[in-house]
């Protein structure tokens, strides 16, 4: 059974009367855990699109960049997306269920967590049309709070992924501008390790979403190169 077939079956269970809690409880372990991650991306990104009142072609394209959908499964994927975007109400329920599923011992999600990867996918879709709407920022801020993401960590993601200004390289790497170069190098290397596809797959990110690491790696390396140039000047 394909990934999209399992997603369709899960949503069919919702329509037939199963509660969201019951469906997600059945999706806690691999390979169903990947299905849960995918449903979360679909539901939250669709509801985020509803938050600013429009869904653009660029946002749909960005979704396809995160998840490669076989042509035969495109109708099912469209049904999932359209079902989720009926209104923005309920996004917190999805976020809370996913947070409960992936958070470890109630600890805040770090840069090496599935929840961080999910936030990155949502940012990718939100910024695809070049317009990061205030309602999208409010939506993602609330989702980050539900996920237990530290405000500083959320700011790092926003600085790296929102295209309305040149990101501050120190914010991207999470270091102070006056930090020694060796300390900044360690922070850069740690983020490179966290971004490796093997590490991402080990923490439950489905193969369809691994390519998000390419964009992250480019931003991390660019920040490190910019800081080196500044320190050498």
Instruction: State residue 143's pLDDT score.
Output: 92
The rounded distance, in Å, linking the Cα atoms of 181 and 78 is: 48
Four-residue CA torsion sign, 65, 31, 82, 54: negative
232: region left, alpha or beta (phi > 0 left; psi from -120 to 50 alpha): alpha
Does the predicted model carry a pTM greater than 0.75? no
**Average pLDDT score, the chain:** 76
Query: Among all chains, which residue has been given the structure tokens 């993601």?
Result: 157
pLDDT of residue 95: 86
Domains of the chain (ranges, CATH numbers) = 3-166 (1.10.3680)
**Locus of tokens 């920040």:** 223
Would you state the structure tokens that stand for residue 144, as one six-digit string?
Answer: 């980050």
Does 83 have pLDDT greater than 80?
A: no
Q: Which two tokens stand for residue 33?
A: 């855990």
Q: Are 192 and 204 in contact (CB under 8 A)?
A: no
């Amino acid at each position: 059974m394909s990934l999209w077939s399992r997603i369709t079956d899960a949503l069919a269970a919702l329509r037939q009367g199963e509660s969201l809690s019951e469906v997600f409880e059945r999706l806690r372990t691999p390979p169903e855990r990947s299905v849960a991650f995918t449903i979360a991306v679909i539901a939250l990104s669709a509801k985020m699109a509803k938050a600013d009142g429009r869904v653009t072609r660029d946002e749909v394209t960005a979704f396809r960049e995160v998840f490669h959908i076989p042509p035969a499964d495109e109708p099912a994927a469209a049904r999932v997306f359209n079902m989720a975007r009926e209104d923005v109400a309920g996004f917190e329920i999805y976020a809370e269920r996913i947070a409960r599923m992936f958070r470890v011992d109630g600890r805040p999600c770090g840069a090496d967590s599935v929840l961080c990867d999910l936030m990155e996918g949502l940012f990718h879709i939100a910024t695809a049309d070049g317009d990061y709407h205030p309602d999208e920022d409010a939506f993602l801020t609330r989702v980050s709070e539900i996920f237990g993401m530290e405000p500083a960590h959320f700011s790092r993601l926003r600085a790296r992924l929102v295209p309305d200004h040149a990101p501050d390289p120190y914010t991207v790497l999470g270091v102070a501008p006056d930090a020694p170069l060796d300390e900044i190098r360690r922070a850069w290397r740690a983020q490179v390790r966290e971004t490796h596809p093997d590490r991402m797959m080990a923490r439950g990110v489905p193969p369809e979403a691994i390519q998000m690491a390419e964009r992250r790696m480019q931003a991390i390396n660019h920040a490190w190169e910019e800081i080196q140039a500044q320190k050498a000047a």
